[in-house]
Amino acid sequence: MKITFEDKSSEYIFRVSNFNKKYIPVFDICFWQNDEDSYIKKFPADSKHLKLIKDCFLNNAEEMFNQLGYFSECKWQEALDAFAGVMHENNIDWWLTGSCALCIRGIELKPHDVDIMVNSSDIEKIKDVFANKTIIPIIDTQGWLTKDFGVIFWYARIDIASDPSAGLDDPEPIDCGPYAAKNLEKVEWRGHTIKAPPVNLTLTVNKKRERWDRVKLIEEYLKQN
């Protein structure tokens, strides 16, 4: 896998080429843009800590793609443990969603990343605290489903998103929308108190994605609890 960068004055391009074809579905789910024989992602040229982010991408991109594609083990427990500790030390509010929010309750899944929700008011602080762990710049999405989005890589990919939009809960609430944010529960895990959405909210998402094995595990958990 070859990684290069291009500075286009108003934008900065991350380019991946010379890759095994097995990575193509991974690039697609991460919304990388196909550009002939390579895949690219574009970011504002003035993105904060861009040099450090470029170094992190060079050092960790292939491992990140391997974990996302289930070609290597996702070290989500180490990632969440380290992340939670730093967020606590810096007094930054956050909550966990996605498959890891089920795993910390004892539902055995195989995550390929860690999904974190934060407040947009803390984004600049998060950029500074995780400057050397950021692999994709955290930027304003300009109207996507969350206000900000970016990625940290620390043992595993950690997605950072802020201020979920009301559209996420249309037609019904899911585990990463505004309703979830207002109804968080506290889960004790490895000495951390982690806020996570109610388990029942994950059913909607997994049914839409036709992840029937996960639906079965979630329904069994809800019956037992």
Could you give the CA distance from residue 33 to residue 150 in angstroms, rounded to a whole number?
16
CB-based burial, 29-62: b 16+ in 10 Å, e otherwise: ebebeeeeebbbbebeeebbbbeebbebbeebbb
Residue 88: partners with Cβ closer than 8 Å, 6 or more residues away: 192
Q: Mind listing the pLDDT tens digit of every residue in the chain (225 residues)? A: 999 999 988 899 999 999 999 999 999 999 999 999 999 999 999 999 999 999 999 999 999 999 999 999 999 999 999 999 999 999 999 999 999 999 999 999 999 999 999 999 999 999 999 999 999 999 999 988 999 999 999 999 999 999 999 999 999 999 999 999 999 999 999 999 999 999 999 988 898 889 999 999 999 999 998
CATH number at residue 169: 3.30.460.40
pLDDT, tens digit, for every residue of 54-104?
A: 999 999 999 999 999 999 999 999 999 999 999 999 999 999 999 999 999
The reply to whether 11 falls in a domain is: no
Q: Number of structural domains, the chain?
A: 1
pLDDT, tens digit, for every residue of 165-175?
A: 999 999 999 99
Residue 133 phi, psi (nearest 5): -115, -5
The reply to whether 37 falls in a domain is: no
The reply to whether 5 falls in a domain is: no
Could you give the CA distance from residue 125 to residue 55 in angstroms, rounded to a whole number?
20
Residue 156 phi, psi (nearest 5): -150, 170
Residue 82 structural domain: 74-224
Specify whether the CB–CB gap between 155 and 64 falls below 8 A. Answer: no
- Kindly state the tokens that stand for 5: 């960068």
The reply to whether 15 falls in a domain is: no
The reply to whether 22 falls in a domain is: no
The reply to whether 23 falls in a domain is: no
Residue 204: its pLDDT value, please? 83
The reply to whether 28 falls in a domain is: no
The reply to whether 45 falls in a domain is: no
**How much is the pTM?**
0.96
